[in-house]
Amino acid sequence: MTYQEFKRKVKKAYDGIEISFSSNGAQHTAKIDDCLTLFNNMESEAVYGKMNGVSIGRCMGIES
């Protein structure tokens, strides 16, 4: 998944909520409300999440 596609999918899932995005090329990251972090690893189409540092696993609704 490209960085632009990752950003589009996260923005669509969290419409109207302030999100900060970053990417180091190998991983794309989105931070939402300082407690939820979503990320996508370079060779994967899956988006995963962490809530307050605890893994919440794959975020199925964001990938559609």
| Residue pLDDT, tens place only, 25-59 | 899 999 998 899 999 988 888 999 999 999 999 99
Beta strands 48-51 and 54-58: pairing type?
antiparallel
pLDDT at 42: 80
Token pair of 29, please?
């990251």
Q: Does 64 have pLDDT greater than 70?
A: no
Residue range 2-29, pLDDT digits in tens: 999 999 999 999 999 999 999 998 999 9
Contacts of 27 (CB under 8 A, 6+ apart): 39, 40, 41, 42
**pTM attached to this predicted model:** 0.88
